[in-house]
Structure 1
Amino acid sequence: MTDSLELLVRTRMPYGKYKGTPIADLPGNYLNWFAREGFPAGELGRLLALMHEIDHNGLKHLLAPLR
């Protein structure tokens, strides 16, 4: 799980309005949009879904030690 959390901090959004923003820093409303419309396939979708769960459950503090 720690590897996935590290990827949230290191991986940047590759496209769209927040291109270049670390996935860990994406705003909740953007993550909610993906949750409603569908996450992309593959690793990016998995990371976005994980970040959505973390944000939705108020657990962003778990990422602080990884920064």
Structure 2
Amino acid sequence: MKPESLQLLVTRTMPFGKYQGRIIADLPGDYLAWFARKGFPPGELGGLLALMHEIDHNGLGDLLKPLRGKTRG
């Protein structure tokens, strides 16, 4: 895992589906668990969803609090 991936979790939005437009870090745990059962999409998005699932599943959501609201640059 790259540190940049954590920043992407609080800035990147879900590009499709029921939660389209929602920040990945704000996706419900049961939605992430559904992807874990059915399969994550390919590419960067799938990697971010899998990472967020692990964070959520292990109760580590507070890890992202310092990153929320940070701007790039």
Corresponding residue of 1:41: 42
Report the TM-score when normalising by structure 1: 0.98
Report the TM-score when normalising by structure 2: 0.90
Ranges of 4+ aligned residues in structure 1 off by more than 3 Å? none
If each structure's helix is expressed as a fraction of its own residues, which one has the higher value? 1
What is the one-letter code of the residue matched to 2:46? G
Deviations for 1:8-63, whole angstroms, at most 9, x for unmatched residues? 00100000000000000000000000000000000000000000000000000000
Q: How much is the aligned-residue C-alpha RMSD, in angstroms? A: 0.5
Q: Tell me, which stretches of 5 or more residues in structure 2 are unaligned? A: 69-73
- Asked which structure has the greater RCO (Cα within 8 Å, sep 6+), the reply is 1
SS at match of 1:52: helix
Mark the structure with the bigger radius of gyration.
2
Q: Taking every aligned residue pair, what percent have the same amino acid on both sides?
A: 72
Corresponding residue of 1:52: 53
